Amino acid sequence: MNAVAWLTQLLEVLAALILAPLFLGWVNACRAWLQNRRAPSVLLPYHGIRKLFHKDAVIATDASPLFRLAPYVVFGAMVAAAAVIPSMGTGLPFRSAADAIALVGLLAIARVFMSLAAMDIGTAFGTLGARREMMIGFLAEPALLMVIFVASLLSATTALPLIAERLVVQPLALYPSLAFTAVAFTMVLLAENARIPVDNPATHLELTMIHEAMLLEYSARHLALMEWAAALKLFNYACIGFALFVPWGASIGATGIGALALSLPALLAKLAVAGLWLALLETVSAKLRVFRAPEFMATAFMFAVLGLLVHLLLGA
């Protein structure tokens, strides 16, 4: 392990922590523009998190220690996930700690703790959110795993940095199987990050909430950590997508400082395009009823399976 690798690792985690709220702000701003509204500042999520950290926390009398622990665990799992996703470079020292399957496990830790915390106080909305979140989770996980399977069949490994590396190193070619799985992955991303059409991040109606319903009882620093973790989750998913489908731009292997310096603008450019694309998808689709979500996720799963079959039949 050389110094550059550790520098990449450090920069990558810092970039995730710093860029995640910006990415969220960018998606929200794009969405506002596309809907002919005046956009809020792209820096708004930072202000929100800063404001929350400077407030006194209010915790329900019925809350157990689990309720106060959960934001830290959720945040910790998301940062750990950011540390193993090759967003800027693939020569990460932590890359051998977790492959893509373990990454899915890390995301599941966050989901389970968030749901448990939502059930802790025993409000109707909290349990409703927890139940729906777990439902979306179990529907999305097989689809996500099939996506990872197809990518790992192409590159003969489940280690995310190696998947990215091999895609870059191979001569440029069109992989029809990846096209199908990219569609599936986008659908999983929308569902898992509480975006339209599965959940509406801007909703004020408690009965239609999923993600927000779980956070209703949180305040101040705990809420700030939960919000930051949610932004990190969106960022992480975007970076998983980049590693699986468009790894170009990230520094490959143990290269020098130059490639690392180039990888930041590349990441920013990819995030800008991805944010615009997400906002576009959210603008042109309508929110589904909660029980249409299984159909949505089943479609995602079928796309991933199609990708798998295409790969096995055509070998590409």
Partner 1 sequence: MLKTAIYGVLRVTFDLIGDPLWWWGLIPLALGLATAIFGVIFAAVQTDMKRLLAYSSVENIGVLFTGIGLAIVFHGLGMTELAALALIAVLYHSVNHAFMKSLLFLGTGAVLHATGERNLGRLGGLIHRMPWVAWLTLVGVLAIAGLPPLNGFVSEWLLLQTFLFSHEVPQPFVNMLLPLGAAIVALAAALAGYVMVKFFGIVFLGQPRESSLAVAHDVDGFEKAGLVWLAIGCVLLGLLPNQVIHALGAATEQLVGAAPNLAGQSWWMLAPLTERAVSYAPLVLLAVIVGVIMATFLIVRVVYRRAVRRAPTWDCGFGRLDPRMQDTAEGFGQPIRHIFVSFFEMERELPSPLDQSPRYRVKVSDRFWKGVYLPIAGLLQRAANSVAWLQQGRISVYLTYSFITLVLLLAVML
- Identified binder of partner 1 from the candidate list 137, 201, 247, 275, rule CB under 8 A: 137
* 105-134 residues near partner 1, rule: CB under 8 A: 105-106, 108-109, 111-112, 115-116, 119-125, 127-128, 130-132, 134
Closest distance to partner 1 from the beta carbon of 109 (Å): 5
CB 96 within 8 A of CB 77: no
Longest dimension (CA), the chain: 61
Work out whether 269 is an interface residue with partner 1 (CB under 8 A): no
- Identified binder of partner 1 from the candidate list 216, 254, 276, 281, rule CB under 8 A: 216
Nearest residue (CB) to partner 1, 89 versus 275: 89
CB 257 within 8 A of CB 4: yes
Closest distance to partner 1 from the beta carbon of 284 (Å): 27
CA 168, 171, 174, 177 dihedral sign is negative
Pull the structure tokens for residue 299: 């479609």
Q: Which stretch binds partner 1 (CB under 8 A): 24-32, 135-143, 235-243, 273-281?
A: 135-143
Task: Spell out the residues 6+ positions from residue 292 whose beta carbon is closer than 8 angstroms to its own.
Answer: none
- Identified binder of partner 1 from the candidate list 19, 31, 141, 192, rule CB under 8 A: 141
Work out whether 220 is an interface residue with partner 1 (CB under 8 A): yes
Q: What are the backbone angles phi and psi of residue 72, rounded to the nearest 5°?
A: -70, -40
Beta bridge partners of 89: 251
- Identified binder of partner 1 from the candidate list 7, 14, 35, 53, rule CB under 8 A: 53
Closest distance to partner 1 from the beta carbon of 144 (Å): 8
DSSP codes of every residue in 160-187: HHHHHHHHHHSPP---HHHHHHHHHHHH
